[in-house]
Amino acid sequence: MKNHHNIISANQLHKNQNDPNLIILDATINKVIDKASIRIPNARFFDIKKKFSDISAPFPSTLPSKAQFETEAQNLGINKASWIVVYDDKGIYSSTRVWWLFKVFGFKNVAVLDGGLPEWQQHNLPVENYTNESYTKGDFEADFHTNLMTNFEGVNQFLKDENTLIIDARSQARFQCLVDEPKAGLRRGTIPNSKNLPYPDLFEGHTLKSVVELSRIFSNLVEEKKTLVFSCGSGITACILALAATLCNFKTNLIVYDGSWTEYGSLTD
C-alpha cells in the first residue's frame, strides 16, 4: 500500500500490517523502553529528543542536521521504498512532529495514525511488548526542504510581511499570558500579531475532526494569506496545526517555527 493522504485510520493500518514495505514508528516523547512497554506490533521507537533533535542546541527538540536525520532514519531500517505510519501514546501529539520532519527531509510517503495508540486500543487491535531489536540499515536519503521550517530570524522577517499569518497552537490561557509557561524561567508572552488556535480544538476525542469541520475552524481564523507560520511552545504541537491545514488542502505556504515560543520568548524582552 502507498499512502499519500497524510493520515490513516486504525482499521486501515491493521489491514495493511503485513505489507513488507510498511514501517510503523512510535514517536511517543520521553518514552522509557523496557519489557513492560507496549507498542503496536513491530513498531520501531523514533526517539525525537535524543536521536532526532540537535541536542547541542539551546532549545528543546531543535531540528537535526540533514546528515543526522538521514543516519538515524537509516539505523531504523527506513528505505526509499518504505511507507511510514507514525503514532504516539497521547492520540495525536508528537507523531505530527515526526510526520513534519520527514516532509522537511524530503520523504512524502508518511502518514499519522489518527488517534494514535489510544484509538488503536479502543478498537481492540493487538499490542505487544517491546523487545531488543536491531534493523538492517536502510537506504533512506534525506533532501532538506529548508522552506518548511523557520527560525528566529525567519519569523522576524515574516512579521514584516502582510501576506503571512502566524498561528499559535498553545492554550488560550498561555497565549493571553494568564498563566506561567511550563518551562521554568521562560517568560509569558506572544509573538506580535499572531493569532491563537489551541490544538485541542481540532480534535473529537482522540481523532481529528472531519475535514469539513477543520476547514470551518481555519476559515474563521485565516484571511487570504500566502503563508501560514505555525508556532507553539517548542515546535511539537505546531505540527498538529500543520497537519490539519494540509488535510484542508490550503493553497498556501505552510511553515513550522522550529523554536516557537521557547526560542522567541528567550531571545526577546
Catalytic annotation, residues: 232
Measured CA to CA, the distance from residue 176 to residue 116 in angstroms comes to: 30
Angstrom distance (rounded) from CA 7 to CA 115? 10
- Which three three-digit cell numbers place residue 166? 502566524
Q: What does the DSSP 8-state code read for residue 179?
A: S
Which stretches of the chain are DSSP H helices? 10-15, 66-75, 95-104, 116-122, 152-158, 172-175, 211-219, 238-247, 260-267
- Cα 161 from Cα 221, distance rounded (Å): 17
Do the Cβ atoms of 203 and 91 come closer than 8 Å? yes
**3 state SS of 101:** helix
Q: How far is the C-alpha of 83 from the C-alpha of 136, rounded, in Å?
A: 16
Contact 28, 96 (CB under 8 A): no
Helix (H) or strand (E) holding 228: strand 227-231
Cβ partners under 8 Å of residue 56, min gap 6: none
Pairing relationship of beta strands 110-113 and 195-196 according to DSSP bridges: unpaired
